[in-house]
């Protein structure tokens, strides 16, 4: 709920991972480590930990690092790695031991103070927890984290006045107003001051300058239900229902409100859960920018340490895993979310996407079809099913689900062009060009002539040797909109190739290959241009290379490529562009060719 402009300031002042921590979780994957037989017994566990660390298997890495320390191999580096990884996994009670060992060896990393403060708070030693955090002089702690942390420590000590006095320290900052009002309301609730709590919650509800987070929506609607104001809670949900990204979550929350009453349990009812909300808020703040992911993971782990049942924290932690391509670990978080949770639907959607990223298409389809049984006309599920089936080259079923997704639309708008585009691709790959062309034209209209659609339609016409002038015109328009797109550059090169201008074809196709060096189709095209341009050895090299490249490999015909490697390429009859103005436009493009 903090403004995005506040993030950079926080990153600049947080100073958590100073000293030797560096990139505290991830290690470069390309590093290799060797060890002699004589050293094996001494360093075996350490090296096993390093390998697991590199592979991002953090639970395994921490176990081996701990074994290494227990067997007497202790240095600054391994201590640092051990407590950081343990803390990042939420094992604070174990992390504190190695953090303090590292502090005794001179480690000045102030995250050690955070670990100690969190551990002491969990042990209900609130006074010493505050003292520990006060050791950190960073501005971000003084102005944000410490006041919130201290406020909830005073809640733990049942001291309302001191809790509210701490929160008052952040009340004057415009960026902090929503955070202040939310925590002020929560503290008032816990102490039984419902009218005062409602006043602070209403400030959030009535603030038109800041969007309410889903977490705040959960907390405030939960309060309203317990106050007998169910209709107000439902009205609040309706206000946000227009967001398609939150529709299923809001629908689930709405059902929970309808079934609730004054006996409904409060979401935040202890100091531990309250301080968990503090670290969740800070974690989500850092997660908003890629350079903050490491900080986000640490704070998220602390949040879960205090409240392991917060599904929003699980979703956020899974997001971080996905950014690091740790799809299996992300799906473990998603699987831990109950079917009764508002977060179940988005968790399952994301799980299916992760399975697809790992090319486990059958498993991904199974997850989505299970969701579809309870949401039979859900646009997102239907379109996602179409995408996964298209990627797994099951075009008939992909077409089926895309068409069902289109039927589920209440009114057509520009946001639906990607669906028409995807449907066209499936029709094209299913050798139904007329239907593909029809849907591409629809996508072109809805997308306001998106360069991707311009390029696909133009290239397809060119590939089929039809509508040559129109094809070249669409590709040229796409190129003018996206001059540094390798795929569009390839199509422009293909315009020159198909019209017999091999010199310019080579120039543009070489640039396309530089932009997309792993694209099999581009390599194939460049090989063709080289052959007809008289550079036959280079052509054979490119054709051979295309057989081993990953991008667009499914569109390549290996039999055709092997035939060209053995027999070369016959001369082709050049297509003719009749529009003189278009012909002049193509000739005038000299930014690359010259």
What digits encode the pLDDT tens for the residues 19-32? 333 344 554 443 44
Sign for the pseudo-dihedral over CA of 395, 400, 402, 403: positive
Q: Note the pLDDT of residue 82.
A: 87
Q: Please give the CATH architecture assigned to the domain spanning 5-133.
A: Alpha Horseshoe (1.25)
How confident is the model over 269-281, as a mean pLDDT?
Answer: 94
How confident is the model over 2-11, as a mean pLDDT?
Answer: 48
Q: Please give the CATH architecture assigned to the domain spanning 141-308.
A: Alpha Horseshoe (1.25)
Q: Note the pLDDT of residue 394.
A: 95
Instruction: Render pLDDT for 141-193 as a digit per residue (tens, 0 to 9).
Output: 888 889 999 999 999 999 999 999 999 999 888 888 899 999 999 999 999 99
* Rounded Cα distance, 152 and 272, in Å: 8
What is the residue-wise DSSP string for 349-373? HHHHHHHHHTT-HHHHHHHHHHHHH
Distances (CA, A) of 406 to 243, 373, 401: 19, 18, 9
Q: Note the pLDDT of residue 579.
A: 87
Instruction: Render pLDDT for 455-491 as a digit per residue (tens, 0 to 9).
Output: 999 999 999 999 999 999 999 999 999 999 999 999 9
> pLDDT higher for 592 or 403?
403
Of 110-114, 409-413, 419-423, least confident by mean pLDDT is 409-413
Confidence (pTM)? 0.80
Residue listed under structure tokens 């201590």 = 79
Question: Which phi and psi angles does 106 have, rounded to 5°?
Answer: 100, 5
Instruction: Render pLDDT for 352-369 as a digit per residue (tens, 0 to 9).
Output: 999 999 999 999 999 999
Fold type of domain 451-594: 1.25.40
Average pLDDT, the chain: 86
* Rounded Cα distance, 336 and 530, in Å: 55
Domain with CATH 1.25.40.10 in the chain: 359-448, 451-594
Fold type of domain 359-448: 1.25.40
Give the pair of three-digit tokens for residue 143. 């102005």
Contact criterion met (CB below 8 Å) for 586 and 496: yes
């Amino acid at each position: 709920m903090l403004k995005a402009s506040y993030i950079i300031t926080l990153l600049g002042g947080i100073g958590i991972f100073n000293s030797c921590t560096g990139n505290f979780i991830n290690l470069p994957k390309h590093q290799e480590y060797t060890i002699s037989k004589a050293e094996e017994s001494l360093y075996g566990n350490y090296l096993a930990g390093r390998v697991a660390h590199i592979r991002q298997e953090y639970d395994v890495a921490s176990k081996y690092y701990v074994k290494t320390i227990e067997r007497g191999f202790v240095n600054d580096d391994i201590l640092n790695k051990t407590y950081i990884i343990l803390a990042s996994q939420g094992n604070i009670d174990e992390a504190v031991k190695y953090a303090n060992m590292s502090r005794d060896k001179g480690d000045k990393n102030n995250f050690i103070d955070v670990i100690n403060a969190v551990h002491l708070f969990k042990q209900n030693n609130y006074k010493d927890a505050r003292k520990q955090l006060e050791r950190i002089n960073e501005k971000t702690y003084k102005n944000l984290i410490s006041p919130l942390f201290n406020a909830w420590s005073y809640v733990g000590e049942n001291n309302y006045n001191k809790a509210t006095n701490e929160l008052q320290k952040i009340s004057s900052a415009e960026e902090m107003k929503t955070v202040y009002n939310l925590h002020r309301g929560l503290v008032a609730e816990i102490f039984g001051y419902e009218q005062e709590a409602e006043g602070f919650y209403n400030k959030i509800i009535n603030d038109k300058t800041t969007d309410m987070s889903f977490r705040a929506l959960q907390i405030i609607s939960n309060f309203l239900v317990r106050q007998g104001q169910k209709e107000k809670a439902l009205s609040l949900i309706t206000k946000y229902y227009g967001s398609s990204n939150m529709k299923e979550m809001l629908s689930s929350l709405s059902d929970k409100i309808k079934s609730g009453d004054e006996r409904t349990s409060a979401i935040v009812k202890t100091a531990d859960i309250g301080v968990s909300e503090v670290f969740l808020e800070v974690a989500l703040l850092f997660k908003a920018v890629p350079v903050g992911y490491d900080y986000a993971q640490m704070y998220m782990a602390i949040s879960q340490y205090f409240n392991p049942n917060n599904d929003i924290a699980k979703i956020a932690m899974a997001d971080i895993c996905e950014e690091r391509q740790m799809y299996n670990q992300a799906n473990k978080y998603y699987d831990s979310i109950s079917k009764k949770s508002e977060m179940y639907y988005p968790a399952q959607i994301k799980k299916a996407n992760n399975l697809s990223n790992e090319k486990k298409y059958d498993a991904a389809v199974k997850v989505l079809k299970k969701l579809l049984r309870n949401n039979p006309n859900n646009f997102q599920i239907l379109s996602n099913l179409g995408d996964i089936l298209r990627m797994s080259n099951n075009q008939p079923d992909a077409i089926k689900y895309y068409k069902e997704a289109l039927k589920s639309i209440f009114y057509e708008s520009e946001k639906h062009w990607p669906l028409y585009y995807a449907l066209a691709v499936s029709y094209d790959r299913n050798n139904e060009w007329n239907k593909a062309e029809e849907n591409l034209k629809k996508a072109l209209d809805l997308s306001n002539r998106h360069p991707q659609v311009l390029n696909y339609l133009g290239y397809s016409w060119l590939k089929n040797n039809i509508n040559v002038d129109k094809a070249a015109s669409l590709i040229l328009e796409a190129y003018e909109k996206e001059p540094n797109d390798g795929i569009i550059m390839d199509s422009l090169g293909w315009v020159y190739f198909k019209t017999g201008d091999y010199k310019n074809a080579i120039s543009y196709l070489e640039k396309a290959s530089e932009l997309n060096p792993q694209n099999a189709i581009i390599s194939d095209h460049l090989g063709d241009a080289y052959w007809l341009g008289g550079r036959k050895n280079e052509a054979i090299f490119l054709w051979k290379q295309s057989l081993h490249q990953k991008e667009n490999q499914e569109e390549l015909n290996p039999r055709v490529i092997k035939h060209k490697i053995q027999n070369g390429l016959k001369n082709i009859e050049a297509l003719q562009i009749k529009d003189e103005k278009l012909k002049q436009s193509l000739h005038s493009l000299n930014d690359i060719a010259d």
